[in-house]
């Protein structure tokens, strides 16, 4: 029987990506292979219970949403995550998968919107990105860079340029413990950076709460 270790399932307003502002169901899976120094979901490293894929689907169906995000932790370290995504696609959901970029995104259907995090140096996990993932991107997918300072900003722009990523949707998010959204916005304007400013909308609404 296909099972996954699930930290939490909830309905909220999508706070990030081009889907920001939309009603969304979230399935947060347990476990992560990285330890970014700004992580805001450390509880997902270990907390969780086993659910079958069908049990997860039934809980999400109660939300009456059409958008679902599979997140973590790192969802791709669980082998049954692709099957969960496939099941939601079969039910007509728009499926977002948020991944830290260290695992092969090719296991996830290209019918999903894969939101791939590229870890900048100041995350402490700057060497974790699996470069082969760049060859698998479709224009449904999005890239995300969390920016902790000017050095990260410069590094991210260089990474985009060197890998010719300008045609993809690229989100720059401020690590609010280190820089303000205004500082990041100022840099984006100064450099005419080919990116979107991505502020965590759910935190502006509810603060540092779980389950939102």
- Distance separating alpha carbons of residues 72 and 89, to the nearest angstrom: 19
Report pTM.
Answer: 0.95
- Per the domain annotation, does 211 fall within a domain? no
- Per the domain annotation, does 138 fall within a domain? yes
Contact 12, 20 (CB under 8 A): no
Contact 175, 209 (CB under 8 A): no
- Per the domain annotation, does 63 fall within a domain? yes
| Residue ranges in the chain assigned as alpha helix (H) | 53-61, 81-90, 150-162, 181-191, 201-206
> What are the pLDDT digits (tens) for 38-65?
999 999 999 999 999 999 999 999 999 9
User: Domains in the chain: how many in total?
Assistant: 1
Query: How are strands ordered across the β-sheet holding 113-117?
Result: 49-52, 3-13, 23-29, 67-71, 94-99, 113-117, 142-147, 169-174, 196-197
User: Which range of residues forms the domain containing residue 95?
Assistant: 3-206
- Per the domain annotation, does 13 fall within a domain? yes
- Per the domain annotation, does 154 fall within a domain? yes
- Per the domain annotation, does 212 fall within a domain? no
Q: Point out the least confidently predicted range of 32-36, 132-136, 199-203.
A: 199-203
User: How high is the pLDDT of residue 212?
Assistant: 77
User: How high is the pLDDT of residue 130?
Assistant: 96
The CATH number covering residue 135 comes to: 3.20.20.70
């Amino acid at each position: 029987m296909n099972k996954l270790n699930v930290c939490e399932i909830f309905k909220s307003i999508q706070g990030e990506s081009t889907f920001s502002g939309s009603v969304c169901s979230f399935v947060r899976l347990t476990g992560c292979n990285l330890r970014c120094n700004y992580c805001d979901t450390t509880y997902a490293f270990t907390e969780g219970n086993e659910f079958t894929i069908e049990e997860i689907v039934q809980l999400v169906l109660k939300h009456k949403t059409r958008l679902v995000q599979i997140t973590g932790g790192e969802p791709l370290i669980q082998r049954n995550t692709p099957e969960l995504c496939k099941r939601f696609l079969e039910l007509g959901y728009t499926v977002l998968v948020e991944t830290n970029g260290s695992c092969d995104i090719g296991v996830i259907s290209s019918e999903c919107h894969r939101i791939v995090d590229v870890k900048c140096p100041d995350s402490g996990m700057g060497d974790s990105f699996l470069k082969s993932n760049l060859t698998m991107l479709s224009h449904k997918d999005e890239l995300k860079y969390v920016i902790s300072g000017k050095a990260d900003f410069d590094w991210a722009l260089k990474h985009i340029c060197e890998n010719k990523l300008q045609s993809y949707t690229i989100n720059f998010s401020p690590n609010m413990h280190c820089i303000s959204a205004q500082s990041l916005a100022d840099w984006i304007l100064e450099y005419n950076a080919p990116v979107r400013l991505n502020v965590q909308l759910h935190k502006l609404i509810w603060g540092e709460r779980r389950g939102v």
